[in-house]
Amino acid sequence: MTKTFILIVTDPGTTRRIANQLKALDLVTGVHEVMGPYDIVVELETPNLTDVPAILSTDIRTLEGIQSTTSLVAFPV
């Protein structure tokens, strides 16, 4: 499994709605509203690293109110 953390910036007033939509996605294992330069941190677990770009482009970045995303792929230690 590949774990990816996705840092999301949302339009003002849309954070809670987007967080709830993200919780409904199949491979999302965690959604956290945070303070700072980002509004939401998503934990995503996929079978392969190659699955991540498609999920980002079709399932996450298409949600209305998302301004930007930054992806961090985690490596086991």
Q: What is the CATH number of the domain that holds 31?
A: 3.30.70.920
Give the pLDDT confidence score for residue 71 in this predicted structure: 97
| DSSP helix/strand/coil, 77 | coil
Give the pLDDT confidence score for residue 72 in this predicted structure: 97
Low-confidence ranges of the chain (pLDDT < 50): none
How many domains does the chain contain in total?
1
Question: Which residues constitute the domain of residue 18?
Answer: 2-74
Give the pLDDT confidence score for residue 77 in this predicted structure: 85
Give the pLDDT confidence score for residue 5 in this predicted structure: 98
Q: What is the DSSP string of 30-62?
A: EEEE-SSS-SEEEEEEESSGGGHHHHIIIIITT
Q: Mean pLDDT of all residues in the chain?
A: 96
Give the pLDDT confidence score for residue 25 in this predicted structure: 96
